[in-house]
Amino acid sequence: MHPSKKWHGETLGKAAVEALKRNGFDAVYVEDSATACQTVLSMIPSGATIGFGGSLTLEETGLLSRLREGDYQLINPPWVELSMSREQRLPLRRQAMVADVFLSSTNALTLDGRLVNTDATGNRLAPMMFGPKRTILVAGVNKITRSLDEALDRVSSVAAPPNAKRLNCDTPCVTTGLCGDCRSKDRICNVTVILHRKTRGVDLSVVVVGEELGL
């Protein structure tokens, strides 16, 4: 990455982290994926049960591989969910709601410290509010937006269409690359949650990484 781009990401990333802290979240800025992995692993006790919300970021940082090798009880890791039907996944996803630790990313993070996420099932969003003892979100600086409006636009314009493609959904955005506010049975944009402040229900940590990660 060009040094100027690195500087810009770091400057916005650190500003977002300070805003998240003002809103009651635990937050930290780290330079790269390797440090993000070390930081997240230091937050998870040995033997912990871990639930997952779908996230390309967790894969790209190398965190999934590290967890696979570690002394943890992984409830619904992506490589297990991939082999299952939607109906088969639900019981595991319910278990993941009450894991010791829940891991995912965020679709967008505003410079005033809000977290914006859209989901099909809601299993990725609920643990950001209540359920697990601790939820940890890992986000590249590409997820940072200047406003709530920009965050909502990012979710529907930047994140959702490629995520629908990644998940092999039969939705218009997979053809056009643009959101058509569809009524498809495969629609992945069924619920949007804006976390303005940390809820009382869960300890939520955000690890902001000075790289472009995920969608």
The smaller minimum CB distance to ligand SF4, of residues 92 and 179, is found at 179
CB of 122 to ligand SF4, least distance (A): 15
171 binds ligand SF4 (CB under 6 A): yes
Side chain identity at residue 203, one-letter code: D
Q: How far apart are CA 20 and CA 208, in angstroms?
A: 10
Decide: is 180 part of the binding site for ligand SF4 (CB under 6 A).
yes
- 182 touches ligand SF4 (CB under 6 A): yes
Nearest one of 137, 144, 153, 136 to 192, comparing CA atoms? 153
As measured in angstroms, the least distance from the Cβ of 151 to ligand SF4 is 15
Residue 185 CB, shortest distance to ligand SF4, in Å, is: 10
Residue range at the interface with ligand SF4 (CB under 6 A); choices 24-32, 97-105, 139-147, 174-182: 174-182
Buried b (16+ CB within 10 A) or exposed e, 3-19: eeeeeebeebbbbbbeb
12: contact with ligand SF4 by CB under 6 A: no
* 105 in Cβ contact with 36 (< 8 Å): no
d(CA 1, CA 145): 20
| Cα torsion 187, 193, 199, 205: sign | positive
Nearest to ligand SF4 of 99, 160 (CB atom): 160
Counts for the chain of helices (H) and strands (E), in that order: 9, 10
Query: Is position 215 an interface residue for ligand SF4 (rule: CB under 6 A)?
Result: no
Site map 130..169 versus ligand SF4, x via CB under 6 A: --------------------------x---xx--x-----
Number of residues that bind ligand SF4 (CB under 6 A): 15
213 lies in the site for ligand SF4, by CB under 6 A: no
Q: Which of 44, 159, 65, 50 is nearest to 103 (CA)?
A: 50
Q: List residues near ligand SF4 by CB under 6 A.
A: 156, 160-161, 164, 171-173, 179-182, 184, 187-189
